[in-house]
Chains A and B, each alone.
Chain A
Amino acid sequence: MKLTVEFQLNGRAVIVEIPAHLRLIDLLRDTLGENGTKEGCGEGECGACTVLVNGRVVNSCLFPAPEVDGAEVLTIESLMQGAAKLSPIQQAYLDNGGTQCGFCTPGMVMATVGLLGETPAPTDDEIRDALRGNLCRCTGYVQIVQSIRAAARTLREGAPA
């Protein structure tokens, strides 16, 4: 059975016909060709596929695609402000060594967007708590926490997210 869903993806209207059982990650990667979101486990354990749906952090590998109908979806692609211009959160990750192999990174960054949207001045414990659904095998999380701390500081100083 096919369904028509209409939603906002990174600020642009999308109308697309999809099978009813489609996962959001497949809609993003396969149907719409937005490859930034990664699939690390397919069972909601690693967080590499993290995106925001109506501002809420979700695992797109577990999220049914039909449920984005009428919603606003933000992926890693929403942060790029034209070529060669990183968002303050991305810049903070770059400056603080928050990415290594990079496979968990889009999910980490989107979890960060979600966290800082709700908690502009998180403590280290709040940062670690927000990352508990995002696995990283490379960094030991230390420089990721440092990156998020630095991003929060920049954003509080008035840069747009």
Chain B
Amino acid sequence: MNDFRHVGKPAPRPEGGDKLTGKARYIHDIQVPGMLHGKVKFSDHAHARVLNIDTSRAEALPGVHAVITARNTPEIRMGFLRDNVVLKKDVVRQFRDELAAVAAVDAETAQKAVDLIEVEYEPLPGVFTPTEALADGAPLVHETDVRGEPRTTNLLDLTFAHESGDLEEAERASKHIAEGYFKVPLIQQSCMGTAGCIADFDASGNLEITTKTQIPFLAQRDFNHALQAIGLSGRTVRVIVPTLGGGFGTGLDTHVYEYLSILLAWRTGKPVKMLYTREEEFAYLSPRQSAEVRIRQGCDANGRLTFRDIDVLQDNGAYTSWGATFPSVMLVPATSLYRVPVVRFDSRIVYTNNTYCQAMRGYGNPEVTWPIESTMDMLAELAGIDPLEIRRINCNQPGETTPMGMQVTTCGLAECLDIAGARIDWAGKHGTQRAASRGVGVASLMHVGGGGKIYRSDGSGIILKLDDYGTVNVSYGGVEMGQGLHAALTAMVAEGLGVRMEQVVINQTDTATCPWDVGTHASRGAFMAGNAALLACKQLRARLFEWAERYYPAEVERNLSRLAKRGDAVDADAFDYKRVTREGFELSDGVLYPLAAPDCAWLRVDLGRFLRAVHFSERGAGTMFTQEAFYEPPTDLPDWSKGQGNMSANYTYGTQAVEVEVDEETGEVTILKLVFALDVGRVLNRQTLEGQAYGAIAQGIGYALYEEVKTKDGRILNPGFTDYKLPTASEMAFPIELDFVETNDPAGPFGAKGVGEPGLVPTAPAISNAIYDAVGIRIHDLPITPEKVLAALEQKRRCEAAVTNPR
């Protein structure tokens, strides 16, 4: 426990009531007078030349206001590498390529019109795996680059690599080497609220767009470029964020549908809404990348890691989003999870004619933590060391600098390993339950916990505005998407300023009213918001106390006269309230009082009353209290080609331990218990923190056992929840024990670290390690389906039979 009044308490989330009563306004719920609805004509081929687009029948349909194609609108370039254009003219490179868009009186009419658009194609050969795409003579997904220069390969010009130490020497010095080849699937973020936006121009050409985004300010920048492209340079862009309905990384880029809404609104002069159905979300919104990871790790006779060597091959799909930079975060565990002196990491990101991909929670981390933690177990077996013990031997320590140059401030990994081991009964259960097909597994994680610098600023601004009644209106540019940012920020503002939580009101995120923020990603929301809030609170308190020197005494006198009227005797000479200096004031729970006399009722002045006294000062010298602050964490933008740089102000560590049972008849894996010990720095709001941990674990379990977007030649085969299996309440029917380690990090607000993503990082390796302990098989491609388990068991039986009965 701590001495805080608000921080760390299990307070309900402030926006929870609106969500529970159906009052929260998602993009789905927002109607604007005169609003049209947009729908998109997507490509019917994965790779083809476009010979002709005939929109005449669509244009003739009653209710249609506009039909746009590349031939009747300006070109808008978009994407992380600007390798995508909003409307495709001559070539389509994936099934979801946008050829035309319609605005009509309702979505049904718009869809009817889309179905009337006729496109003539000349199909081209496609490439559908990175290996195919890199083969000699493979068809090129992009024949030219952004500058129009011819391309010769499907390999992207993005380098994320690292080399430290002498790899050959380290290999020679290794006693044991474990290696493996692992594959992770394409998966869908599966926000329960699908994607959408409403774009509208005012009569001067200024754009207002309400959109489901996690990056309002980077979106504003992108949409500014779009306005330039359509000849509206100098007009303003206002981005408003509705209640989100889940983010999980889907909001880290601007999307084609947003630009199409903008173009249709510009063309028609009316607000235009685009809203994806679930099927459209699956087929036309970018999923998480699939990747192949080759890994080798070595250790000495005592189990000490000697080197780690990782190659990543990532399927980018046809265009490039921010999510293509997953290897930037893969570098975190690759170089720095456990102490490893020599590291080589390389990544290749490859264009294919598959759907292009984007960010999802964990951002590359789960993709490599699974191979790292699987081969840690393999190494332990080779070295004859207990898997939990080999992790203790190589455990990260506070104060260390990792091969990537990450400066570890606090590190609770050793404690997390101990807690997870104890709570799963590692000593009693590991290696002892093979007869019952039961086993235990363990895996850890390291993630950025103090921002993650991937842009020239990793900063966040905040504005605190006090009104006449002591309400603190908070304008913060980050996005509440369900993770609990507002709950944490409410507690931190209340604590930092000295007001009650119900006095804190967080405004809707809106670029017109909130200061700049790079975006809500990298588990940075609460860390950044808290640090910015604490800066603002400190300055605001200083100003309040400065003004209190002049206005506080009169308020005490009002207290005294009220008490006198009631006949209550007060010894007003007992404390010299007229001479309290700015250093002598305190504000707590929304009450101003002298530090020297905290318990004296007649000296206590309600904040709202004090603010009104200052505002309505008869001397005409009043003031308002509004305070802005900007926090930029003390971190480096890494040199990605060298994999060097301290990209975060602190690092989050944790360990999951899991017990499973494998049904050897059906191949089904049942989780019996999961333990998650997480170094959170400081608990800011226990209820929402637990929610983040439980929810991430469920996503980790989906990744490990159930989820995969299936494709054939670039076409998505399971675009819905009927065939794409999310964990349901039935799959989550096992006990989960959470244990939060508080290391009180010096960079964190109240000591806190970022916790949004970590929970899904170590889940798959913990489960696959437990399956190995249970039945002695190791599956190398996720998800670990019953079919794969049965096939591996069968192969193991054949191998054992061959050993027992050699021919």
Contact = CB atoms under 8 A, between A and B. Distances in A.
A45 B282 CA distance: 14
A41 B730 contact: no
Interface stretch (B11-19, B408-416, B513-521): B11-19
Contact of B26 (A38, A97, A127): A38
Interface stretch (B73-81, B331-339, B691-699): B691-699
A76 B694 contact: no
A122 interface: no
Interface string B698-742: 110000000000000000000011100011111011001000000
A143 B245 contact: no
B694 A137 contact: no
A100 B248 CA distance: 12
A102 B19 contact: yes
A52 B699 CA distance: 29
Contacts of B722: 43, 45
Interface residues of B, number: 56
A101 B732 contact: no
Nearest to A93: B20
B801 interface: no
Interface stretch (A65-73, A128-136, A153-161): A128-136
A138 interface: yes
A11 to B, nearest CB: 16
B484 A100 contact: yes
Interface string A73-110: 00111011000101000100111110111111110010
B214 to A, nearest CB: 12
B743 interface: no
B730 A94 contact: no
A106 B733 CA distance: 22
B193 A40 contact: yes
Residue in B691, B721, B733 with the greatest tally of chain A CB atoms within 10 Å:
B691
A4 interface: no
B246 A40 contact: no
Contact of B191 (A79, A109, A131, A137): A137
B687 A101 contact: no
A102 B243 contact: yes
A141 B193 contact: no
A79 B21 contact: yes
Contact of B695 (A79, A129, A139): A139
B28 interface: yes
Contacts of B697: 140
A101 B481 contact: yes
A103 B192 contact: yes
A143 B22 contact: no
A137 B481 CA distance: 12
Contact of A135 (B28, B482, B721): B721
Contact of B21 (A46, A90, A131): A90
B699 A75 contact: no
Contacts of B465: none
Residue in B26, B190, B193, B247 with the greatest tally of chain A CB atoms within 10 Å:
B193
Nearest to A80: B21
B688 interface: yes
B22 A101 contact: no
A36 interface: yes
Given A45-B720, A76-B21, A143 B191 contact: no
Contacts of B16: 93-94, 99, 102
B273 to A, nearest CB: 13
Contacts of B698: 139-141
B668 interface: no
B243 to A, nearest CB: 7
Residue in B22, B248, B687 with the greatest tally of chain A CB atoms within 10 Å:
B22
Given A46-B721, A136-B192, A137-B192, A76 B278 contact: no
B22 A36 contact: yes
Given A45-B721, A76-B22, A102 B729 contact: no
Given A38-B26, A101-B245, A135-B726, A140 B191 contact: no
A57 interface: no
A94 B694 contact: no
Interface in B530-575: none
A99 B20 contact: yes
Contacts of A143: 687, 690-691, 694
B192 A97 contact: no
A99 B17 CA distance: 9
16 contacts: A36-B21, A38-B22, A40-B192, A41-B721, A45-B720, A94-B12, A101-B244, A101-B245, A101-B247, A101-B481, A102-B482, A128-B730, A134-B729, A137-B246, A139-B695, A144-B729
Given A86-B17, A101-B192, A140-B696, 5 more contacts: A75-B22, A93-B16, A99-B13, A104-B192, A131-B728
The 4 A-B pairs of least Cβ separation, nearest first, read: A36-B22, A102-B19, A101-B482, A140-B698
Interface of B: 12-13, 15-26, 28-29, 189-194, 243-248, 277-279, 481-484, 687-688, 690-691, 694-699, 720-722, 726-730, 732-733, 736
